[in-house]
């Protein structure tokens, strides 16, 4: 229960001619984590067609990225082995068709941008007789500009009267487009300096006359009409090509996605042998396997190789990989542990304690039936719209499980959106938060003491296993200091024991505290946290009481009533729902954050090393393809 999955390192030797069959069998088996052998032998290499498979995978996934993805991909396709897959994809014309359409769309998109720029310029000068294609052919320096009409009006008026400057302009009310020809004289350059200043300030911009669509030999107004028609044709063709891609996606997306899945599987198999060693006639594999899978592995490999295989355990100082194997319902907690830091395979796995402690802490702090039910609905919705492999989904699953103790604690404390329903129709009065604050504080401290004792016990086992006996004993003295310290506090401040017993527990606590410092060595400072970490668990009571009091105040001020009319009733309903929703969000957030924090900061620091090597077996997951039979 408190150990990661036991692992065994193996060496597997088989004939080189059986390599493809063994690789397929191991891939299907899905429980061997490869390790490169340290034997002084030649390294094996990927299978010959690995590069070809990779190129095909890049090509197929590129085609899939171009196609619009359907909302739902359906179908199950027969898996094709590598050789056949290469032949089939070599004849698959739809992939090339997708790329051709994509290239054409890219060209059209570039053309669209240039056409829009050209149309903007041509339309701007359509009230003039300018032929934009001839502006670069004159000996004079000619440039075209555009800007905000109101800001440029004084500037243009001054340019009209300047010798050596010819100006032609066209305004649509908001923008003004103007062409300037100058003879580069000193007077002309001086007059144009104010234009350059306007450009620097962003009031005007120079137009690109090198646009290829402006080279038509016709007046601006004629060119504008032609460009508008060209843009419409461009849009029409792009729409047609996009519709064609959608049609291809409907008929081929699932099949291409299945091909990509097959290519991933076959490429994994083709590259697997790069982890092997080899002799002239044999191949050698080393790796880690869960001990409970050893018999199944041996039986399968003997079947595939007709008994021509040797499988032997290897004694190794190497740290075994970590495999957490919780029931499906609790898998999100395994995800959380790996995301935080997976436990080492040579230390106690605290996941089960983390699961139960987190759920209790979360329920304690939220402690409201209404909030629990609403958060259950929200958490369930999140799991429906997120990726099951992602962090958000797994966090929502943990949250979903946390709503159960929140509802149970809500029933126990008689909290329904802050209301105590016993006054209406429920006979059970529950445990009142406000009237029993001391009891809730005591309960939170006792929960903390219980978890800290478990953590210190785990620390004792871990240290003792690794030969650090003095530090292991310091964990035991820490437990004694916490227990006797709690008894001393109870006796001294609450009159629970006689003076003699109080003195004995006090002295014993001090002795154990000093012993913890001495025995702990470099970890002796842990003794200083025994009191602070124990008291830290009072936050369970603090946040729980805060949520209850806020809910009570909301009910007191905003519970809907018809006494003051319909409008006031509606406003009260809105305020009631909004404020309870906000209080619920804060309660949920604090419940999750503080529930995780107490486990990581207070509990894990008593024993946890973490940093384990995650078990990564040679395996695959099929979504769109059917399992193929291993070829004999």
pLDDT in tens, 535-594: 999 999 999 999 999 988 998 888 888 777 888 889 989 998 899 889 999 998 999 999
For the chain, domains (ranges, CATH) are 1-43+276-323 (3.30.70.240), 114-225 (3.30.70.2750), 332-337+345-606 (no CATH)
Q: Which of 86-90, 248-252, 495-499 has the lowest mean pLDDT?
A: 495-499
**3 state DSSP class of 467:** coil
- Give the span between the Cα atoms of 269 and 276, in whole angstroms: 12
How would DSSP label each residue in 97-126? HHHHHHHHHHHHHHHHHHHHHHHHHHHHTT
- Residue 177, pLDDT above cutoff 90: yes
Residue 628: pLDDT band by 50, 70, 90 thresholds?
low
Contact call for residues 278 and 141 (beta carbons, < 8 A): no
pLDDT of 288 reads 96
* Beta-bridge mates of residue 147: 176, 204
**3 state DSSP class of 263:** helix
Calculate the alpha carbon distances from 136 to 128, 180, 206, 211, 304 in Å: 17, 12, 14, 12, 78
**3 state DSSP class of 290:** strand
pLDDT of 525 reads 75
**3 state DSSP class of 61:** helix
- Residue 382, pLDDT above cutoff 70: yes
DSSP label at 389? T
pTM summary value? 0.79
Q: Which of 6-20, 270-284, 412-426 has the lowest mean pLDDT?
A: 412-426
Give the alpha-carbon dihedral of 93, 94, 95, 96, to 10 degrees: 60
- Give the span between the Cα atoms of 630 and 28, in whole angstroms: 8
Among the listed residues 114, 143, 125, 115, the one whose alpha carbon sits nearest the alpha carbon of residue 220: 125
Half-sphere exposure of 184 (CA within 13 A, CB side): 5
Report residue 552 as tokens. 């009570």
- Give the span between the Cα atoms of 472 and 466, in whole angstroms: 9
At 440-455, the pLDDT tens digits run 999 999 999 999 999 9
- Residue 309, pLDDT above cutoff 90: yes
Among the listed residues 505, 507, 506, 518, the one whose alpha carbon sits nearest the alpha carbon of residue 473: 518
Report residue 293 as tokens. 């899978």
pLDDT of 449 reads 95
Name the maximum alpha-carbon separation found in the chain.
113
pLDDT of 531 reads 87
Strand (E) or helix (H) holding 26: helix 19-29
Query: Residue 75: left (phi > 0), alpha (psi -120 to 50), or beta?
Result: left
pLDDT of 559 reads 83
- Give the span between the Cα atoms of 555 and 418, in whole angstroms: 7
Q: Which of 157-171, 379-393, 451-465 has the lowest mean pLDDT?
A: 157-171
Residue 500: pLDDT band by 50, 70, 90 thresholds?
confident
CB under 8 Å, gap of 24 or more: what pairs does 164-167 form? Answer: 164/188, 165/191, 165/192, 166/140
At 92-151, the pLDDT tens digits run 899 999 999 999 999 999 999 999 999 999 999 999 888 888 886 555 568 899 999 888
* Mean pLDDT of all residues belonging to the chain: 90
Report residue 623 as tokens. 């979504």
At 293-303, the pLDDT tens digits run 999 999 999 99
pLDDT of 630 reads 47
The residue ranking higher by pLDDT, 562 or 27, is 27
Strand (E) or helix (H) holding 178: strand 175-182
Among the listed residues 229, 418, 239, 290, the one whose alpha carbon sits nearest the alpha carbon of residue 6: 290
Phi, psi of 13 (to 5 degrees): -120, 130
Among the listed residues 212, 193, 194, 188, the one whose alpha carbon sits nearest the alpha carbon of residue 113: 212
User: β-strands 77-78, 625-626: how paired?
Assistant: parallel
Residue 317: pLDDT band by 50, 70, 90 thresholds?
confident
The residue ranking higher by pLDDT, 112 or 524, is 112
To which residue do tokens 């946890």 refer?
A: 608
At 319-345, the pLDDT tens digits run 999 999 888 889 999 988 988 899 999
- Residue 632, pLDDT above cutoff 50: no
pLDDT of 520 reads 85
Among the listed residues 531, 522, 523, the one whose alpha carbon sits nearest the alpha carbon of residue 475: 523
* Beta-bridge mates of residue 489: none
pLDDT of 389 reads 85
At 241-252, the pLDDT tens digits run 999 999 999 999
* Section 493-504 average pLDDT: 81
- Give the span between the Cα atoms of 38 and 567, in whole angstroms: 80
């Amino acid at each position: 229960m408190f150990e990661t999955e036991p692992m065994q390192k193996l060496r597997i030797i088989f004939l080189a001619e059986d390599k493809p069959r063994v690789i397929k069998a191991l891939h299907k088996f899905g429980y061997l984590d490869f390790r490169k052998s340290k034997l002084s032998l030649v390294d094996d290499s990927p299978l010959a067609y690995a590069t070809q498979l990779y190129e095909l995978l890049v090509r197929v996934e590129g085609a899939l990225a171009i196609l619009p993805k359907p909302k739902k991909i359906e179908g199950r396709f027969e898996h094709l082995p590598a050789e056949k897959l290469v032949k089939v994809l070599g004849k698959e014309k739809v992939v090339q068709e997708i790329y051709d359409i994509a290239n054409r769309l890219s060209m059209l998109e570039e053309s669209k941008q240039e056409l829009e720029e050209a149309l903007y310029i041509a339309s701007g000068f359509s009230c003039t007789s300018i032929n934009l294609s001839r502006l670069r052919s004159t000996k004079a320096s000619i440039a075209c500009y555009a800007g905000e009409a109101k800001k440029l009006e004084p500037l243009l008026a001054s340019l009209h009267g300047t010798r050596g400057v010819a100006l032609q302009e066209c305004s649509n009310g908001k923008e003004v487009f103007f062409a300037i020809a100058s003879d580069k004289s000193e007077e002309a350059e001086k007059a144009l300096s104010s234009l350059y200043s306007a450009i620097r300030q962003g009031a005007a911009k120079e137009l690109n006359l090198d646009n290829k669509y402006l080279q038509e030999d016709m007046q601006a107004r004629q060119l504008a009409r032609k460009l508008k028609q060209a843009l419409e044709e461009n849009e029409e063709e792009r729409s047609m090509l996009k519709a064609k891609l959608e049609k291809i996606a409907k008929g081929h997306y699932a099949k291409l996605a299945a091909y990509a899945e097959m290519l991933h599987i076959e490429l994994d198999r083709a590259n697997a042998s790069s982890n092997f060693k080899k002799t002239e006639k044999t191949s050698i594999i080393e790796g880690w396997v869960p001990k409970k899978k050893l018999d199944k592995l041996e039986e399968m490999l003997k079947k595939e190789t007709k008994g021509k295989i040797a499988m032997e355990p290897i004694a190794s100082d190497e740290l075994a990989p970590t495999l957490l194997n919780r029931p499906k319902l609790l898998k999100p907690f395994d995800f959380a542990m790996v995301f935080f830091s997976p436990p080492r395979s040579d230390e106690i796995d605290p996941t089960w304690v983390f699961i139960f402690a987190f759920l209790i802490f979360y329920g304690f702090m939220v402690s409201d039936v209404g909030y629990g039910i609403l958060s259950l609905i929200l958490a369930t919705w999140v799991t429906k719209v997120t990726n099951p492999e992602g962090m958000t989904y797994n966090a929502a699953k943990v949250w979903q499980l946390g709503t159960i103790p929140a509802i149970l604690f809500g029933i126990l404390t008689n909290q329904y959106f802050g209301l105590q329903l016993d006054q209406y129709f429920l006979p059970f009065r529950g445990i009142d938060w406000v009237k029993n604050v001391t009891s809730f504080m005591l309960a939170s401290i006792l929960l903390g003491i219980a978890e800290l004792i478990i953590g210190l016990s785990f620390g004792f086992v871990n240290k003792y296993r690794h030969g650090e006996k003095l530090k292991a004993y310091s964990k035991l003295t820490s437990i004694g200091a916490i227990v006797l310290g709690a008894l001393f506090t109870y006796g001294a401040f609450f009159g629970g024991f006689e003076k003699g017993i109080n003195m004995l527990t006090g002295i014993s606590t001090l002795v154990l505290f000093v012993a913890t410092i001495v025995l702990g060595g470099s970890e002796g400072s842990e003794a200083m946290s025994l009191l602070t970490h124990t008291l830290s668990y009072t936050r369970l009571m603090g946040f729980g009481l805060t949520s209850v009091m806020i809910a009570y105040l909301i009910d007191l001020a905003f519970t809907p009533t018809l006494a003051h009319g319909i409008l006031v009733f509606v406003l009260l309903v809105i305020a009631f729902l909004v404020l309870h929703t906000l209080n619920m969000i804060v309660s949920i957030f604090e419940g999750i954050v503080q529930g995780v924090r107490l486990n990581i900061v207070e509990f894990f620091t008593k024993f946890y090393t973490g940093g384990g090597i995650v078990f990564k077996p040679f395996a695959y997951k099929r979504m769109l393809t059917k399992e193929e039979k291993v070829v004999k």
